[in-house]
Amino acid sequence: MQHLKPHVVLVGPPGAGKTTIGRRLAHTLNTVLIDTDHMIEEATGKTCGAVFSELGEPEFRRLEAEQVAVALQQRGVISLGGGAVLTESNRNLLVDHPVVWIDMSAEEGVRRTQGDDSRPILAAEDPLAHFTKLLATRRPFYSQVADLHVSTDKRTPQQLVADIMAYLETTAC
């Protein structure tokens, strides 16, 4: 079996818009969106939030790494879960792929995810302080793997897709 490189891999924090932008980008590229969170849900029959809560973060990250490895062997737009970059094996696998970091401010992240009970990693008494800490922890990893960094703050999905397409055209992916 020949392993294909994805057109592009999307990384970024929860709520950044990886799935929304991924769908539009896949449509523009006439390909599929492969979302590793959805792959985990299909494999376990449970939501990612339930898997995370029931098994704990270490086991969730192990399952996630398995799905990331499978996803990266496929052609399409690959959307990774927000914390996938925390796992070294995932970061190592991203070296040979075009990676776009979809970013946002902590304030925007809280606004977009407030009241979302499906994301237990975001549960906190002080959502802004928690999201700020989450971003501070993950941004170095996003930066390490990313070839392109775009922010969704005050930008439409169409604008971001246009930026990503311009980047992909220059890299001939």
Q: Give the neighbor-by-neighbor strand order of the sheet with 8-11.
A: 33-35, 77-79, 8-11, 99-103, 148-151
pLDDT reported for residue 122: 59
pLDDT at 2: 45
Per-residue pLDDT, 123:
65
Domains of the chain, residue spans: 8-171
155 is in an annotated binding site: yes
* 18 is annotated as contributing to ligand binding: yes
Q: Tell me the one-letter amino acid at 8.
A: V
Is 116 annotated to bind a ligand? Reply is: no
**149: β partners:** 101
Task: Give the residue ranges of the chain where pLDDT is below 70.
Answer: 1-5, 115-123, 172-173
pLDDT single digits (tens) 48-98 = 888 988 999 999 999 999 999 999 999 999 999 999 999 999 999 999 899
- Report the pLDDT value the prediction gives residue 110, as an integer from 0 to 100: 83
Q: Which residues of 12-26 are buried (b: 16+ CB within 10 A; e: fewer)?
A: bbbbbbbeebbbbbb
49 is in an annotated binding site: no
Q: Does 139 belong to an annotated binding site? A: no
Specify the CATH number of the domain 8-171.
3.40.50.300
119 assigned ligand-binding residue: yes
User: How big is the CA angle at 57 (ends 56 and 60), to the nearest 5 degrees?
Assistant: 90
